[in-house]
Amino acid sequence: MILDKIKAVRNSQEDRVKTSFPKFRHDSSQYLNDIEDLPDMEFARNLVQVKGKFVYCPNQKELVLALRILYHEEQWEKIFCIEPSIRELIDRTGIPYSFDQESVKEAEAAITGCEFLIARTGSILVSSAQGSGRRVFGHAPVHIVIGRTTQLVNEIGDALSGIKGKYSEMPSQVSLITGPSRTADIEKTLVLGAHGPRDLYVFLLNDK
């Protein structure tokens, strides 16, 4: 008897919820302006606006040269990179690096790939499926991302749809990176690198 009453109350509450909140599909296109520039230009502009640093590389030769220049300018001694496809590129530069997972704790810079680059916000979509591990994206004080023009999409929704289509099961972690880590909690002053990398570089390789 008591269970029947509880069930009846639950059913009546569910009916009220259903009638109070009808299904509604949100359409972001109602308030977002169309992207007028090419995706790479839009991405670069928005990345720079959030304090990221952008380098366009028309081919692999230019990418190798740009990475060498950055390495010699910064003179990092401890660099971490573990993703096989990215390591192939780094090997061509002659830049020394470690791929031991424990070394990420002491790395001055970490080099990774990405899943997608989002033009609308200048954001980078990364996931645990890339092989770098969860800690890499937020541990080293400098994060260098090597992305490709074929990874450019206009919207966050496009990137999430791409992730779903790429993997049979969603990765255990999917994250958006929009500029270096920052906080304004301390005396309302913007501080970069408070909870993660203080510098974010994106090298965009034209692979079309």
pLDDT (tens digit per residue) in 182-204: 444 444 444 343 445 889 999 99
Which residue in 38, 11, 56, 53 sits closest to 180, CA to CA? 53
Strand partners, 191: 183
Break the chain into its structural domains and give their ranges: 35-205
User: What average pLDDT does the structure give for the chain?
Assistant: 82
205 pLDDT exceeds 90? yes
Check if the beta carbon of residue 96 is closer than 8 Å to that of residue 79.
yes
Comparing 19-23, 29-33, 104-108, the range with the smallest average pLDDT is 19-23
Range 1-18 average pLDDT: 48
Q: Residue 83: what residue type?
A: E
Tokens of 54: 């952008």
pLDDT of res. 35 = 67
Please determine, for residue 50, whether its predicted confidence score (pLDDT) is greater than 60.
yes
pLDDT tens digits for range 55-106: 999 999 999 999 999 999 999 999 999 999 999 999 999 999 999 988 888 9
pLDDT score of 5: 46
CA distance 118 to 110: 21
- Please, which residues have CB within 8 angstroms of residue 114's CB and are 6 or more apart in sequence? 124, 125, 126, 130, 145, 146, 147, 151
| CATH number attached to the domain at 35-205 | 3.40.50.10420
The pair of structure tokens assigned to 192 is: 């970069």
